[in-house]
Amino acid sequence: MEGGCTCGNIRYRLRGQPMVVHACHCTWCQRETGSVHALNALYEFDRVEHLGAEPEIVDTPSASGKGQRIARCPVCRVAVWSNYPGSGPAVRFVRVGTMDDPTQCPPPDAHIFTSTKQPWVTFPPGAKVYAEFYSDAGEVWSDEARARHRAVREKIKK
């Protein structure tokens, strides 16, 4: 899968499938996206290959108080991914809407922070829905995804 910003300055290629896909319904994501939720596909940093210019990294506040680092195109300002303190630089939360063909991305594994979702948003039957964030990754992440996450965090430590 490939993607990028609106103006084409930032281009990337994703290797493989994401570890997990989150639909975040928090009010911060609603504000940042101008939509009802952010849809993020989580990839290891080394599975996101830069094909174009380097993004500008913008430190922004978050509801947790820990902030996030948003990778934006310095020309058109579109956000292409974020890094959050929990995973640091190891994991990129790629904005699914920046993919050339977002239909190639699997549907969300979890809908998070739904306590602040828009009241008219409904979820498909069987969806994993959490009022805040899930407490056990094993509820959402596959064994393979958890192993990939552990491996990339170890790689960053070295």
pLDDT tens-digit readout, 56-110? 999 998 877 888 999 999 999 999 999 988 888 899 999 999 999 999 999 999 9
Residue 144: give the domain boundaries: 2-157
Question: Average of pLDDT values for 121-143?
Answer: 94
CATH value at residue 104: 3.90.1590.10
Specify the DSSP element, H or E, that contains 150. Answer: helix 143-157
Full-model pTM: 0.93
Task: Provide the number of structural domains found in the chain.
Answer: 1
Question: Average of pLDDT values for 107-116?
Answer: 97
Distances (CA, A) of 95 to 61, 69, 117: 18, 13, 19
- Judged on CB neighbours under 10 Å (0-12, 13-18, 19+), 16 is exposed
- Res 158 pLDDT > 80: no
